[in-house]
Amino acid sequence: MNELIDRMSRLARPLLGAFGVLWLAFGLWAFLAPHSFFDLVAEFEPYNRHFIHDVGAMQIGLGAGALAAALTLRAVVSGLIGLAAFQSTHAVSHLVDRDLGGTPWFDIPALSGIAIVGIGALVGALRTDSR
């Protein structure tokens, strides 16, 4: 059993790195070219640009968190990097798509505030770790 755990431990970083790159690539594609992503990967009618942007934001956060974990294996820092990447991109998604509906007067400040809190928590965690 210990041998299996050791083998899985050695695979953790490469797997996190590979999935992180994959999620980040798909997330950037969905966020930056939503119609192309929809046409080639996610053809679930009807096309909704904002939904694809939000899917991209989520995948960017997952990819950033997984890559951070592969590089550092520090759970709090990796989680906060993923959260900050997702929330920042999600706020940008709502800003870019403010003409598509929703409640931009509430969503943009609220999501931006959450992103700022996440970034602040990440900065705090990094400062604490560097002491």
Residue-wise DSSP of 88-100: HHHHHHHHHTGGG
Which sequence spans correspond to the domains of the chain?
2-130
User: What mean pLDDT comes out for the span 22-49?
Assistant: 95
User: What is the pLDDT confidence band of residue 46, given thresholds at 50, 70 and 90?
Assistant: very high
Say whether pLDDT at 131 is over 70.
Answer: no
Length of the chain counted residue by residue:
131
So what's the pLDDT on residue 6?
73
The residue with tokens 């706020």 is 91
Is the separation of the CB atoms in 6 and 45 below 8 Å?
Answer: no
pLDDT, tens digit (0-9, with 9 covering 90-100), for 71-123:
987 889 999 999 999 999 999 999 999 999 889 999 999 999 999 999 999 99
Residue pair 52/37 in contact by the 8 Å Cβ criterion: yes
